[in-house]
Amino acid sequence: MKLNTYLASMNQKLGLATKINEKSANIGIVGLGYVGLPLALSFVEAGFKVIGFEIDDFKTSKIKNNESYLKHISSERIQVAIKTRRFETTADYKLAHEADALIICVPTPLDHHLEPDMSFVKDTINALKPSFRKGQVISLESTVYPGATDEEVVSVLEAQNFKVGEDVFVLFSPEREDPGNAKFHTTNIPKVVGGTTPTCLEVGVTLYNQVIEKVVPVSSTRAAEMTKLLENIYRAVNIGLVNELKTVADKMGINIWEVIDAAATKPFGFTPFYPGPGLGGHCIPIDPFYLTWKAKEYGVHTRFIELAGQTNWAMPEWVVSKVVEALNQNAKAVKGSKILVLGLAYKKNIEDMRESPSAELIKLLSAKGAQLYYADPYIPVYESEHEPKIKMESVSVNPQVLSEMDCVLLATDHDIFDYNLIQKESKLVVDTRGRYRKALPNVVLA
């Protein structure tokens, strides 16, 4: 590196680091969903000016009205952020030029072929491209396959004649949000950061140290990308294991929850995972396929990961078979039976329905002719994405409603539900979450 180039690079790095440390840097958060909104508020609360880029009119209007659209983020927190005059939202990507740091938090779903859909990332980078300038740090937090930061971010910057690590600084820092978790939140969850170059990493650590209690640097963006996938593949594979063991234990007349609880008393060498009606959320059902897709490029077939995925995807069918069997024991056919699905969110105490197994349960039971109802206080209206369209409103969980049902299917165990009432007033309960932990006269564990 020529001396002048080196000095220019150091000036960019030191100038940006100084701005960050003095909290005079402008932070741009692209995507104000489950990841972006709490991160944006954390930077505001740390003393930074934040521009939130969001194309969803519903979200921007809610924020402008001092209201939250996420259950675990209070409206009061948004009100306080707005009162500081350091938080604004916009759909105008031209304002990204004002940002010293751009943090991208957009979805990365799978397409119909279970292959990565990178369109949100690509569209975001293209929208930001005219606003990229020297002295910026760009951090991608969306879950991607190893190498995606290089392919989708670095390549675009280099095509604009930016020198990454000298003119601009590129990071990958995987989100680790867990909505509804009262113990862990944005600022106290350790943050993994990988940089395209060592200089990028230095800037990245400086940036995230402002709002995160512990920053964990790794050697590259690819290592950081792989870290995120490992975390969720680990969970997916272990959940797949206990889901498979659940079906075996059921055939043997063994209570799998009793077995897991007993095994969990071992103080070493065992981590408890629990079965359910299938996988939900934006991470565990999706992330493993980002690696299996990329691994094929290297001639590697990830059979272990794919097998776990197949097991987890099969769980809704297995649960429906347990409902059919339980109704049959009560001399009822599933066709025409009134079935109440308890909980639509993919996990308890949140309003997030992404990839929720409850949607698949409703689809399967509807196809069998059941009269379906649902109760979820966090999701007042449900409309299916598949054909034929199903649209329902949440019902109240009260003695009259429960007594009218032929079966209550516990799909998501929100703490707000009165489980004593449900068990007492229902003819039949099929429990997919182990809330009752043991079979009762009218409770079937599934």
Token duo for residue 30? 């692209």
Distance CA 140, CA 160 (A): 18
Please provide the size of the chain in residues: 446
Token duo for residue 407? 């079966």
Extended strands (E) in 67-214: 87-90, 101-104, 137-140, 169-172, 191-195
CB 224 within 8 A of CB 172: yes
Token duo for residue 153? 């971010």
Residue from 242, 140, 114 nearest 195 by CA: 140
> 105 catalytic, yes or no?
no
CB 322 within 8 A of CB 409: no
The owner of tokens 């909290």 is: 23
Helix (H) or strand (E) holding 53: strand 49-53
Chain-centroid distance of CA 392 in Å reads 25
- The pairing of beta strand 429-431 with beta strand 191-195: unpaired
* Selected catalytic residue, list 105, 200, 283, 407: 283
Q: What angle do CA 191, 186, 137 make, to 5 degrees?
A: 55
| Residues involved in catalysis | 283
